Amino acid sequence: MARQILKLNHISAKGLDRLPRDDYEIASEFTHPDAILLRSHKLSADDIPESVLAVARAGAGVNNIPVAECSSRGIPVFNTPGANANAVKELVAAGLLLGSRGIIEGIHYVNKLYGMTDMAELHRTLEAHKKEFKGGELVGKTLGVVGLGAIGSLVAEMALTLGMEVVGFDPALSVEAAWRLSSQVKRADTLSALFARSDYISLHMPVLDSTRGLVNAELLAVIKPGACLLNFARQEIVNEGALVDALNAGTLRKYIADFPAPQLIGRKDVILMPHIGASTEEAEDNCAIMAAEQLRDFLENGNIRNSVNFPNLSLERVSGCRLSVTNDNVPKILGSLLSILANENINVIDMLNKSRDEIAYNLIDIEGELTESVLDTMRALNGVVNVRLIGRCA
Ligand SMILES: NC(=O)c1ccc[n+]([C@@H]2O[C@H](COP(=O)([O-])OP(=O)(O)OC[C@H]3O[C@@H](n4cnc5c(N)ncnc54)[C@H](O)[C@@H]3O)[C@@H](O)[C@H]2O)c1
Ligand SMILES: O=C(O)CC[C@@H](O)C(=O)O
């Protein structure tokens, strides 16, 4: 029977093609879907039917998904790290230019001259007014990059090629991300130090309990006067009241963001875009392909790549019959599971077990006849969250 994928946003056809139609039905409504595929759709725990085995986000941020509830139900949540990083980097480059020159105001001014037919008069008018749109150059200015992961590291690299000084802050920088980073990126010891010395500040961290409202009045009070803040990460990271106060006071010269909010729309010192950081054909394809492939590998093999709540785990198939078991990360459960199999004369050919935080996940390749009642005995074990049989046993 075909697996059913509940698709809650537009997902690129190139990604959907990775889920062959003979084996997968994809639609925006199903009562008992096997998995959910989405982008920015706000998913609540109540929207996730009992039948769901996995949730895949074609994108980086997972703040629209109830990850903790998924974990407690044994549902892995996947994302696509890095797949849209270049798209965001390019929009940040545009943001820096829009923040440094009177580009938007200049274009707006020229459009208002529609209907002026005399070329000489048009020329005189433009030359008289162009001083109103003067800006500054980026070269030699300092960009502070907050969060040096997939996007932040590309933004830092891009700014260096524009001749900017780059200072970075990331308290949880992974070793892999550190290797990617140019040695020309200077390290700020604190966020305040970065805010105090940067002409431009670009935010690239996820929204977490620790980052929600992190850009607050205290931080904006130490900002270098005349600085420009770019937010292509998430709205929730910036405290809106404090932001408006800093703009009104003139300490913050400009706010450029991908997340419009009612009290920011229409302000001359704010440039807002409709969450288009990842809206390029290339990024949409990359994210969709990655999300679909990860989802398929999980549904068909139980393998886990790029989950935000489960351990990464991949086991080559050596038999047609595989158990995928999620349990609480406490002692003795794996032993009990293996005893149940041994009592049934079922041979374990290969297995992998990994844990992450509260969750332990196992793939067990077996040989022998496995009945539904044996599966139920495993499911009834204290601490076992779910047991799935993948493939057919001999
Ligand atoms: N505008 C858009 O369309 C768009 C597109 C993609 C991603 N995003 C947002 O950008 C975020 C980052 O994406 P990414 O792909 O670079 O993710 P990533 O996981 O590769 O990098 C995030 C980095 O932030 C760091 N970090 C965590 N807490 C921090 C803190 N308190 N201060 C500074 N750094 C901190 C992490 O250590 C990590 O290195 C996503 O979570 C998402 O919210 C927006
Ligand atoms: O899907 C999108 O359009 C935006 C995705 C972006 O916000 C992300 O977190 O990757």
* Assigned token pair, 366: 């077996």
Distance 176 CA to ligand 1 centre (A): 15
* Per-residue DSSP letter, 188: P
Query: Could you give the CA distance from residue 321 to residue 129 in angstroms, rounded to a whole number?
Result: 75
* Assigned token pair, 302: 């139980």
Distance 138 CA to ligand 1 centre (A): 24
Distance 38 CA to ligand 2 centre (A): 10
Distance 277 CA to ligand 2 centre (A): 7
Q: In the chain, what percentage of residues exceed pLDDT 90? A: 97
In the prediction, which pLDDT does 255 show? 98
Give the binding-site residues of ligand 2, using a 6 Å CB cut-off. 39-40, 59-61, 84, 277-279
Q: Which atom of ligand 1 is nearest to 278's Cα?
A: 3
- Strand 142-146 relative to strand 35-38, pairing: unpaired
The answer, yes or no, to whether any atom of ligand 1 lies below 6 A from the CB of 366, is no
Distance 8 CA to ligand 2 centre (A): 13
SS3 for 203? strand
Q: Which ligand is nearest to the CA of 152?
A: 1
- Flag whether pLDDT at 319 surpasses 80: no
- Flag whether pLDDT at 141 surpasses 90: yes
pTM, 2 dp: 0.96
- Flag whether pLDDT at 393 surpasses 90: no
Q: Which ligand is nearest to the CA of 95?
A: 1
Distance 207 CA to ligand 1 centre (A): 8
Can you tell me the mean pLDDT for 186-207? Answer: 98
Q: Which ligand is nearest to the CA of 308?
A: 1
In the prediction, which pLDDT does 328 show? 98
The closest residue, in CA terms, to atom 6 on ligand 2 is 59
Q: In the chain, what percentage of residues exceed pLDDT 70? A: 100
Tell me the chain's radius of gyration from C-alpha atoms: 26
Which amino acid is residue 230, in one-letter code?
L
Give strand pairing partners of 166: 143
The closest residue, in CA terms, to atom 8 on ligand 1 is 233
In the prediction, which pLDDT does 392 show? 86
Q: Taking Cα atoms as reference points, which of 130, 146, 15 lies closest to residue 84?
A: 15
In the prediction, which pLDDT does 146 show? 98
Look up the ipTM and state it: 0.99
Distance 41 CA to ligand 2 centre (A): 10
Query: Could you give the CA distance from residue 328 to residue 359 in angstroms, rounded to a whole number?
Result: 5
The closest residue, in CA terms, to atom 3 on ligand 1 is 277
* Per-residue DSSP letter, 164: -
What's the order of all strands across the beta sheet hosting 322-328? 347-356, 359-367, 322-328, 384-390
Average pLDDT, the chain: 97
Can you tell me the mean pLDDT for 153-179? Answer: 97
Can you tell me the mean pLDDT for 151-162? Answer: 98
Query: Could you give the CA distance from residue 143 to residue 159 in angstroms, rounded to a whole number?
Result: 7
- Flag whether pLDDT at 192 surpasses 80: yes
For tokens 């093999």, name the residue.
301
Q: What is the pLDDT of residues 335-360, one digit of tens each?
A: 999 999 999 999 999 999 999 999 99
Structural domains in the chain, CATH included, are: 1-84+281-308 (3.40.50.720), 85-101+136-272 (3.40.50.720), 311-394 (3.30.70.260)
In the prediction, which pLDDT does 318 show? 82
- Flag whether pLDDT at 122 surpasses 80: yes
> Distance from first CA to last CA of the chain, Å, rounded?
19
Q: Which atom of ligand 2 is nearest to 60's Cα?
A: 10
The answer, yes or no, to whether any atom of ligand 1 lies below 6 A from the CB of 89, is no
